[in-house]
Amino acid sequence: MTYGVGILLEGGLVFASDSRTNAGVDQVSTFRKMTVWERPGERVLVMLTAGNLSLSQGVIHLLDNGMGERLHAAATMVEAARVVGEAVREVEMRDGEALRRHHTDFNLSLIFGGQIAGERPRLFNIYAAGNFIEASPETPYFQIGEIKYGKPILDRVITQGSSVAQATKCALISFDSTIRSNLSVGLPIDLACVERDQLRARRRSVGEDDAYFAGLRRHWSDGLRRVFSEMPDPG
- Asked if 138 interacts with a copy of itself (CB under 8 A), we say no
Our finding on whether 225 is near a copy of itself (CB under 8 A) is yes
Exactly one of 31, 180, 197, 214 binds a copy of itself (CB under 8 A); that residue is 180
* Distance spanning both ends of the chain, measured CA to CA: 42
Residue of 19, 21, 168, 184 interacting with a copy of itself (CB under 8 A): 168
Q: Minimum distance between the CB of residue 145 and a copy of itself, rounded to whole angstroms?
A: 12
Pair 18, 181: CB distance under 8 Å: no
- Which one of the spans 51-59, 86-94, 130-138, 155-163 is the region binding a copy of itself (CB under 8 A)? 155-163
* Prior bond of 188 cis (ω within 30°): yes
Q: State the binding string over 187-216 for a copy of itself (x if CB under 8 A, else -).
A: -------------------------x--xx
d(CA 218, CA 221): 5
Instruction: Pick the stretch among 1-9, 19-27, 128-136, 165-173 that binds a copy of itself (CB under 8 A).
Output: 165-173
Residue 58 or residue 145: which is nearer to a copy of itself going by CB? 145
Burial profile 27-39: b = 16 or more Cβ within 10 angstroms, e = fewer: eeeeeebbbbbbe
Residue 94 or 202: the one with the smaller Cβ distance to a copy of itself is: 202
Report the nearest approach of a copy of itself to the CB of residue 154 (Å). Answer: 9
Cβ atoms of residues 59 and 110 within 8 Å: yes
Residue type, 225: R
- Region binding a copy of itself by CB under 8 A among candidate stretches 47-55, 114-122, 134-142, 170-178: 170-178
Whichever of 101 and 226 has its CB closer to a copy of itself, that residue is 226
Q: Which residues contact a copy of itself (rule: CB under 8 A)?
A: 148-149, 151-153, 155-157, 163, 165-166, 168-170, 172-173, 177, 180-181, 212, 215-216, 219-221, 223-228, 230-235
